[in-house]
Structure 1
Amino acid sequence: MCEFRPKWMQIFNNPRALLFFLCAGSFIQGFVLNGLNSVNATSLERRFGLSSSNIGMIASVYDISAAIFGVLISYLCSRGHKPRCLGISILVMGLGSLVMALPHFTTDRYKMGSENVLDQSVCLTGNNTHCRANTNGSRLSWYLYIFLIGQILNGVGGATLYTVGFACIDDNVSHKRSPVYISILLCLTMVGVAVGYTAGGKLLDYHVDFLFIDSNRINTDPKNPRWVGAWWVGYLGGGLIAIIMGPFLLLYPKKLPVQKSEKSLDDESMKQLQHEVDSRPHQLQQQQQQQQQQQQQQFQTQLPFISKDSGNPEHLVATEICKLSHNPTFLMVTLGAIAESVNVGGFATFLPKFIQNHFHQTPSWASMLAGMVVVPAGAAGQLLGGYLSRRLQLHVKGMARMCIITLTLSSVGIAAFWARCDSVPVAGISASYNANKQPYDIVNLTSKCNELCHCTTEIYEPVCSPDGLQYFSPCHAGCTKISANGDFYMNCMCVESPVNFQQQPTVEPQTVSRNTCVHDCTQIYFFLPAVFLNVFFSFIAQTPLVSMVLRCTDQDQRAFALGLNAFLVRMLGSLPGPLLIGTIIDRACSVWQSTCEGDSSCWIYNDIGLAANLIVLVLTLRLVSIVSLFLADRFHKPFTSSAPTEAPTRTTTTTTTTTTAALAVTGGAGSGPGVVSGAGTGRGGSGLAGSNTNTYSPPQPSPPNKDVVGVGGDHHQRTSDVYSENLVIPKRYSVHILENDIQNYNPVDV
């Protein structure tokens, strides 16, 4: 089986083909998790009787899964077959998408209520026995757990894709190409998000059961509040693409042939270097042996993470956490990032729903508008933030002040949430049954004219009277008859004035039309640019927030600090964000869908109350971010590494040559003094190391007889050893060392 290598498949055995399959997984991750989940929020609420809090729970469980399983799986895969792990992760993510689509195929066809409109929408005197006829509500609510399982699988696959995927790319391409490949991978995620918003929104224009029901025979359209679009198609398509692409990665070798050839060239260079070093005189060997113990102590001092506690990882983790907890700059930057993450995570989930309800848009158009605003603004802001930090050569204080300015400018756009369409008077909610305005906090859909009709809020069938007053349903308007074409309801006891439509001269008095009284709204054209600026300025601060974590921590703490920062931001920000925003949206509900099992999804929201609550929450979190960054600016002091910036260099002169050996270690988590720049993966996760230069120079070395030149969190670090007199060890030369070998490691032998 392992020897099965057909020649025609070898065209895929290269870094570009590997990148293609990884990009397919990255695209699916953005398409499903950041696109479809936001677009389908309202449809899932309507179809399965879920609340906004339930939708927030579905979004948050991804972060729980990624935080718990992502680090563990990444740690295991970092020591194993990375392409195979990535193939399995994409298959798991595809399975998660298919699980998300599963409820559509295991439930009955969706009934909007119009099929039994004479029984459920008009006024019926006598006992209401509808509860005994409907038993689906309780069963449908259990599908919440199916969605949670799907999101858990998506979290396992998605988190592994970005940790192990980056490491796999870095292992198989050159240093110059690695950043380009990683950028392409991240770019495909953003493309997936954009396609998820647009394509997923367009699918909502099709009825959820369009395969079985002729859309021309459905007497409704997406403007109906009970409409449910084809939410499941996107999950099904994304899952199938992932299932198709995943197995290709299982066929890749642990190392690509290109990497193997480069490694063979490095080995030849090392042999040549070994031959040159062996030809040197060994006159100082006795002196080096006498200095062995002293040099080993110095080496361990300059690599703080190698200590007498290296065999006790729990103690090391506790020590590092204790150090970071005494770093006020790190704490304040992390607090600010958490507050921003709550805002971003919450509104990314519910922005399409807010646009749909606040500005009376269809689900598809609301989703497309949200995608056209959020994706370009976020991408442009993040790129500009990184460019400004590099162009202006900002340090911690400069980046903190830049973030304060951009977040303050972003706060101005929050006022856009006050923009809303003119409120439509709804009888019993925002107006009394005699068309007089009443306070929003008084909701009573029952009046003397309909108290004998036994109306419920299970079906929302809005109707509009000639005087512009909207009723929740024909039953609440007291209507007892329906026209032949189903467009009008007649004999409506709550409608006082007779009707005289010019286009319908034969319509009977006390008639209402089967539609809403919504007027054209232009406020959305003010809202969307304001949201664009809000997102744009917010995302300018995202890259500096990460860079500040690198600049305010010690060299040997940076990868761990990034991992801890990412963990706290995810668990305290991204995770509770959708839950918090969903709860606030639920609290602004005026009328719930009432079933025999209790309240399910919300039909009508209090627009003013919802906008006020969201503005208060966003401004509070934004104030926390700004104050935290201000304190980070005040607390930060110019950082001085615990390791000496310049180690003493010992130079010994012989009758023939003078040799100086300099050791430069490149890596991330667990890396020691040296030129630190690049991605490093440690036991606790992965992170991006900063840039700091420290040099360790042991005395004149004896001929290298050990292939040990790097120590790292995963015991696998890329190293760069530079010797004088034009003797250069190739940069791609890498080796392994075990923790229990550290104590026996002799730096003089390097």
Structure 2
Amino acid sequence: MIALICCLFCKALMATFLKSSITHIERRFGITTSKAGLIDGSFEIGNLLLITLVSHFGAKLHIPRVIGIGCFIMAAGSCKNESGSPMWIYIMMGNILRGIGESPFLPLGITYIDNYAKKGHSPFYVGLLQSLSLTGSISGFLLGSLCARIYVDIGYVDLSIISIKPTDSRWIGAWWLGFIIAGILIILSGVPFFFIPPFQKKTKMESKVPASLSASNTNDRSSQKLNFKNPEQIKDPQELSGYFHSLKCLLSNWNYIIFLTYCLFSYICIIVNLTYLPKYLEQEYGQSISKSNLIFGIIIFPFTGISLFLGGYISRKLKLNIIGTAKFLLICHCCGFVAQTLMLTLNCESRPVAGLTVAYKRNDPQGDLQNISFSECNSDCNCDVNLWDPVCGDDGLTYISPCSAGCKSSAGYGKEMVFHNCSCVEVNNFQSQNSSAHLGECSRTNDCSRKFIYFVVIQSLAQFFYALGYSPGTMLTFMIVEPQLKSLAIGFCSLTLRSIGGLLTPIYFGAIIDLTCLKWATNSCEDQGSCRIYNPISFR
């Protein structure tokens, strides 16, 4: 348990750090959100290559040693730091390697625990395992928050000349630093598995049932199990034909198929939240990626960890059978759904960006329309329409550049630079005659900050209810399949979730987000880069 907790801690640390850094990777390499989603989903490609085979054959081998080897392979996929436009492919290849190494962790680890835990204690151990390993996810977001505050090229550039802040949509954090740290930790976590024996002295079947009993009688050792029909003689599990026979038995179990469908939809929602919620908080509430990761790490995920442990404890205390577990899952998800629907009301006003979300002339309803790059106030400035260097005018509007604000002069240095004699600002602020602009976008209202706090509270509550059913749900898998198919059942479930949910979801959901972009960045070759600002209503 201790070795597996350390292993899953490092695995979760690495996974959540990637998700917390996906926006910075997107900006670093100037790619679209869908390509960033491909990088995130590439982990599942490596996992899909081996997950069911490892689940089937690995259960007959030295399970701890297989997990240890996986740790070393996973670590090899985390030490690449390159920059340049095509180099994002290297990040994707490393993520594929991570997926290959991670394939034996859960299916073999949970099977090993269920084989040798005392009767009825498996749900508690699984809940304990998941809740303690969740500290890895918490640490991953905290590490992501720390690295997001550090400029990506630290040590190579003079930070005093950097004129942007972490809240700026152009800011890129040190996304590469966390992978090096996580890679070292995962190597260390894999060492203890090579000293764990492949078998314990007593299994729970050996301690409760005489060895002379037949396999069919052994299958009935728990009243919580379904009454399976006696399957035909199981073929040699070490042969490939035995693997396909086991897979056929699994897929003919309709209870398992129904449960698998439920798991798939739940997993899709989890992937969307973890991958793109920080980007949403940045666009909707004006929060930096660093702060969003911090919120995940110190508020939302601790609630989830408590809920995971509590779910396993409740399942053990109430001794839930199949129907009881299903009812418990339904109640948990209904409560989570009700809480999450409340977040639809917590929207802030659109970011007032002249020429994109609002007209240049605020007091003229018949004036400039939205999505118009130029106006009469800056028509003589010959501004670059592709430039994104936002400034906040004294009129409360954000302009995509000092030129688009019609500014004629500047004073100050770096982050303290101020632009003066801005003709577009003067048009909207003619009464006070203030016509200056400062670097960066205009800050959000206090009302928006208050709604962000409400959002965090409701999101934490929703995640608490959802996670409450995770551990009982895992044990439900064991209740509805034959004992010899437990490992394969978990492995095939992981295969389905990761092929449809983990691999495809970040890509197609990222492509949908790309459709809401209002302003794309351009690189030196005039090629499209990452998105700077999204349509808030469409994104929401």
Give the TM bin, normalised by the shorter chain.
0.7 to 0.9
- Return the offset for 1:337: 1.8
Instruction: Indicate the SS of the match to 2:299.
Output: helix
Match for residue 431 of structure 1 among 350, 358, 364: 358
Q: Note if contact 1:49-1:601 (Cα within 8 Å) is conserved in structure 2.
A: yes
Per-residue deviation, residues 122-150 of structure 1 (Å, max 9, x unmatched): xxxxxxxxxxxxxxxxxx33222111111
Map 1:206-285 → 2, pairs under 5 A: 206-246=150-190, 252=195
User: Is the CA contact (8 Å cut-off) linking 2:392 and 2:439 kept in structure 1?
Assistant: yes
Cα gap change, 1:23 to 1:381, in 2 (>3 Å)? closer
Kindly indicate whether the alpha-carbon contact (under 8 Å) linking 1:429 and 1:440 is maintained by their aligned counterparts in 2.
no
2:432 maps to 1:488: no
Q: Deviations over 1:589-638 (max 9, x none)?
A: 22111333532211111222211xxxxxxxxxxxxxxxxxxxxxxxxxxx
Match of 1:370 among 283, 296, 306: 296
Partner of 2:45: 64
Larger Rg: 1
Q: Unaligned stretches of 5+ in structure 1?
A: 1-18, 108-139, 264-272, 278-294, 503-507, 612-750
Aligned equivalent of 1:190: 134
Selected match of 1:350 from 252, 276, 285: 276
State how far apart, in whole Å, the 1-side matches of 2:71 and 2:483 are: 34
Residue 602 in structure 1 maps to residue 527 in structure 2: no
The one-character-per-residue Cα deviations of 1:100-157 (angstroms, maximum 9, x if unpaired) are xx22xxx3xxxxxxxxxxxxxxxxxxxxxxxxxxxxxxxx332221111111111122
Distance (Å, rounded) in 1 between the aligned partners of 2:162 and 2:341: 40
5+ residue gaps, structure 2, are 203-209, 219-227
Matched-pair contact (CA < 8 Å) for 1:470–1:517: yes
Determine the C-alpha separation between the residues in 1 that align with 2:58 and 2:247. 25
Contact 1:57 1:579 in 2 (8 A): yes
Contact 2:33 2:510 in 1 (8 A): yes
What one-letter code is carried by the residue in structure 2 that aligns with 1:156?
Answer: I
1:94 aligns to what?
75
Equivalent in the alignment of 2:327: 401
Q: 1:397 to 1:241 in 2, by over 3 A?
A: closer
Q: Would the aligned equivalents of 2:336 and 2:466 in 1 still touch at CA under 8 Å?
A: yes
Q: 1:184 to 1:382 in 2, by over 3 A?
A: closer
Task: Encode CA deviations 1:724-746: one digit per residue, 9 max, x unaligned.
Answer: xxxxxxxxxxxxxxxxxxxxxxx
Partner Cα separation in structure 2 for residue 315 and residue 197 of structure 1: 40
Distance 1:355 1:445 in 2: 26
Quick one: distance in 1 between partners of 2:368 and 2:295? 29
**Partner in structure 2 of residue 159 of structure 1:** 103
For residues 83 and 232 of structure 1, do their structure 2 counterparts lie closer, same or farther at Cα, with a shift above 3 Å needed? same
Letter in 2 for 1:306: Q
Q: Does the CA contact (< 8 Å) of 1:338 and 1:569 recur in 2?
A: yes
Which of 591, 608, 614 is the equivalent residue of 2:519?
A: 591
SS in 1 for 2:291: helix
8 Å CA contact 2:128, 2:308 repeated in 1: no
CA contact (8 A) 1:431 1:438 kept: no
Is 1:37 the equivalent of 2:34?
no
The verdict on how the C-alpha distance between 1:315 and 1:606 changes in structure 2, with shifts beyond 3 A counting, is closer
Is the counterpart of residue 516 in structure 1 residue 444 in structure 2? no
Q: Which amino acid aligns with 2:252?
A: K
Shift in Å at residue 82 of structure 1? 4.5
Which secondary structure state, in structure 1, belongs to the residue aligned with residue 79 of structure 2? helix
- 1:581 paired with 2:509, answer yes
SS at match of 1:431: coil
CA distance in 2, matches of 1:534, 1:49: 34
Quick check: 2:411–2:418 contact (8 Å CA) kept in 1?
yes
Equivalent residue letter for 1:426: V
Instruction: Give yes or no for contact 2:56–2:487 (8 Å, CA) kept in 1.
Output: no
Identity among equivalent pairs (%) = 26
Work out which of the residue numbers 317, 325, 347 in structure 2 matches 1:420: 347
Q: Tell me, in whole angstroms, the C-alpha distance in 1 between the residues paired with 2:410 and 2:192.
A: 59
Shift of 1:487: 1.9
Displacement after TM superposition at 1:571 (Å): 2.3
CA contact (8 A) 1:43 1:229 kept: yes
SS of aligned partner of 1:592? strand
Label 1:178 to 1:307 Cα distance change in 2 as closer, same or farther (>3 A): closer
**Residues in 2 aligned to 1:361 and 1:489: alpha-carbon distance in whole angstroms:** 25
Post-superposition Cα deviations, 1:179-229, rounded to whole Å, max 9, x if no partner, equal 688766544421111111112202221222222334345333222222112
* Structure 1 residue aligned with 2:149: 205
Whole-angstrom distance in 2 between the partners of 1:336 and 1:168: 25
Question: Which residue does the alignment assign to 1:129?
Answer: none
> Would the aligned equivalents of 2:278 and 2:289 in 1 still touch at CA under 8 Å?
yes
In structure 1, distance between residues paired with 2:315 and 2:125:
22
Q: Which amino acid in structure 2 is aligned with residue 415 of structure 1?
A: L
Tell whether the 8 Å contact from 1:414 to 1:531 is kept in structure 2 after alignment: no
Over 3 Å counting, the alpha-carbon distance change for 1:588 and 1:335 in structure 2 is same
Change beyond 3 A, Cα 1:516–1:361: same
> Partner of 2:311 in structure 1?
385
1:322-369 Cα shifts (integer Å, max 9, x gaps)? 622xx2x44333222211111011111222222222111122111101
Structure 1 residue 96: deviation in Å? 1.1
Counterparts of 1:657-736 in structure 2, within 5 Å, are none
8 Å contact kept, 2:51–2:494 = no
Counterpart residue identity of residue 399, structure 2:
Y
In structure 2, relative to structure 1, the CA distance for the partners of 1:186 and 1:393 (3 Å cut) is: closer
Q: Does the C-alpha gap of structure 1 residues 437 and 566 become closer, same or farther in structure 2, counting only changes over 3 Å?
A: farther
Residue type at the aligned position of 1:471: Y
Deviates more, 1:152-161 or 1:183-192: 183-192
Judging changes above 3 Å, is the alpha-carbon distance between structure 1 residues 352 and 403 closer, same or farther for their aligned structure 2 residues? Answer: same
Deviations 1:534-572 (A, max 9, x none): 111222233344444444556676665554444323322
1:5 maps to what in 2? none
Structure number with the higher helix fraction is 2
The one-letter code sitting in structure 2 at the alignment partner of 1:201 is S
Change (3 A) 1:554 1:93: closer
Assess, with a 3 A threshold, how the Cα gap between structure 1 residues 518 and 79 changes in structure 2: closer, same or farther: same
TM-score, with structure 1 as normaliser: 0.60
Counterpart in 2 of 1:652?
A: none
Correspondent of 2:456 among 504, 528, 548: 528
Over 3 Å counting, the alpha-carbon distance change for 1:178 and 1:440 in structure 2 is farther
User: How many corresponding residue pairs?
Assistant: 514
Q: How far apart, in 2, do the equivalents of 1:23 and 1:402 lie?
A: 26
Instruction: Tell me, yes or no, if the aligned pair for 1:421 and 1:522 is still in contact at 8 Å.
Output: no
Does residue 34 of structure 2 align to residue 53 of structure 1?
yes
Distance in 2 of aligned mates of 1:589 and 1:68: 34
1:490 is displaced (CA, Å) by 3.0
With over 3 angstroms needed to count, the CA separation of the structure-2 counterparts of 1:44 and 1:455, relative to structure 1, is farther
Cα pair distance change 1:580/1:540, threshold 3 Å:
farther
Q: Decide which of 467, 470, 484 is 1:539's aligned counterpart.
A: 467
Higher relative contact order (CA 8 A, sep 6+): 2
Residues 336 and 463 of structure 2 are in contact (CA less than 8 Å); yes or no, is this contact kept in structure 1?
Answer: yes
- Distance in 2, matches of 1:494 and 1:402, equals 60
Q: 1:414 to 1:579 in 2, by over 3 A?
A: farther
- Superposition RMSD in Å: 4.0
Letter in 1 for 2:502: S
Instruction: Give 1:454 deviation, angstroms.
Output: 4.7
The answer as to 2:27 corresponding to 1:27 is: no
Pairing 1:149–2:74 present = no
